[in-house]
């Protein structure tokens, strides 16, 4: 499978520990906004540290390539658990999240670390909607891969909430991992009611892991819907990844 990788990188000498990196799904939808936000917000002397932005897109160049993203960002599910699509068409092929996660870990991340010195303590993964679902799937199944996980408006409902089964396994395993990790979930207050509710209900279930190093937060943006929330989320993503404690 082919991917189109979009990269924005700082100029000048890298910091001694290397650059933080943000990997953003649906690259053609978010890359330019995120890269420009980073350019503005990393200006000295009061800006954040310089950062490498990596947008992961597809050869089609579509902002949201539904056929590819549906397969890449979702876990296997029974057809009967999926809602009807707004346009009435059948769902594209789905269920390839683990395969895409392997591509990310084995091909894309080594490619970037081969091009730039990388601060492995600050590597973030961001996705929106089905991409947000994928981010949570990555955290619950491969928590060692990134330090920061940012799930925008995650489609937790996918496959009759199969993600919650992964959550239960994660809750059991994480205390033994000794992995300080950060999670941010964002959602627009004017999104579908169940989208907001699902995100709000996930946070309390993660609270017991705070003592084991998982810092989780929910950011709800007033007067924003499923798509209008994206620019605000991308701006907050930079602070989430780059702000030093």
Q: State the catalytic residue, choosing from 148, 155, 191, 199.
A: 191
What radius of gyration, in Å, describes the C-alpha atoms of the chain? Answer: 17
> Between the CA of residue 115 and those of 74, 98, 112, 145, what are the distances in Å?
29, 25, 5, 18
Annotation marks residue 93 as catalytic: no
Q: State the catalytic residue, choosing from 9, 32, 212, 226.
A: 226
* Polymer length in residues for the chain: 245
Annotation marks residue 226 as catalytic: yes
Q: Determine contact, residues 118/16, Cβ cutoff 8 Å.
A: no
Q: What is the DSSP string of 187-225?
A: EETTS-HHHHHHHHHHHHHHGGGGGGTEEEEEEEETT--
Annotation marks residue 200 as catalytic: no
Q: State the catalytic residue, choosing from 129, 147, 153, 199.
A: 129
Tell me if residue 129 falls in helix, strand or coil: coil
Q: What is the DSSP string of 30-63?
A: HHHHHHHHHHHHT-TTTSPPP-EEEEEE-TT--S
**How far is it between the farthest Cα atoms of the chain?**
55
> Between the CA of residue 34 and those of 1, 92, 161, 193, what are the distances in Å?
25, 28, 30, 27
State the Cα–Cα distance between residues 194 and 27, nearest whole angstrom: 26
The distance from CA 28 to its chain's CA centroid, rounded to whole angstroms, is 15
Residues assigned a catalytic role:
129, 191, 226
């Amino acid at each position: 499978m082919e991917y189109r990788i979009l990269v924005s990188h700082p100029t000048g000498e890298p910091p001694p520990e290397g650059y933080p990196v943000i990997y953003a799904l649906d690259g053609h939808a978010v890359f330019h906004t995120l890269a420009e936000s980073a350019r503005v917000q990393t200006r000295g002397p009061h800006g954040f540290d310089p950062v490498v932005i990596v947008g992961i897109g597809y050869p089609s160049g579509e902002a949201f390539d539904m056929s590819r993203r549906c397969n890449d960002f979702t876990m296997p599910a029974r057809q009967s658990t999926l809602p009807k699509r707004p346009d009435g068409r059948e769902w594209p092929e789905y269920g390839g999240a683990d395969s895409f996660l392997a591509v990310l870990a084995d091909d894309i991340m080594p490619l970037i670390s081969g091009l730039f010195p990388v601060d492995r303590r600050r590597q973030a993964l961001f996705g929106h909607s089905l991409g947000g679902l994928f981010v949570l799937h990555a955290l619950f199944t491969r928590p060692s891969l990134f330090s920061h996980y940012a799930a925008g408006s995650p489609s937790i409902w996918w496959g009759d909430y199969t993600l919650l089964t992964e959550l239960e396994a994660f809750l059991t395993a994480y205390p033994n991992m000794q992995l300080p990790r950060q999670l941010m979930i964002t959602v627009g207050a004017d999104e579908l009611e169940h989208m907001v509710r699902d995100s709000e209900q996930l946070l309390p279930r993660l609270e017991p892991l705070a003592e084991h190093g998982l810092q989780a937060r929910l950011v709800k943006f007033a007067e924003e819907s499923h798509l209008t929330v994206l620019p605000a989320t991308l701006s907050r993503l930079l602070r989430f990844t780059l702000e030093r404690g």
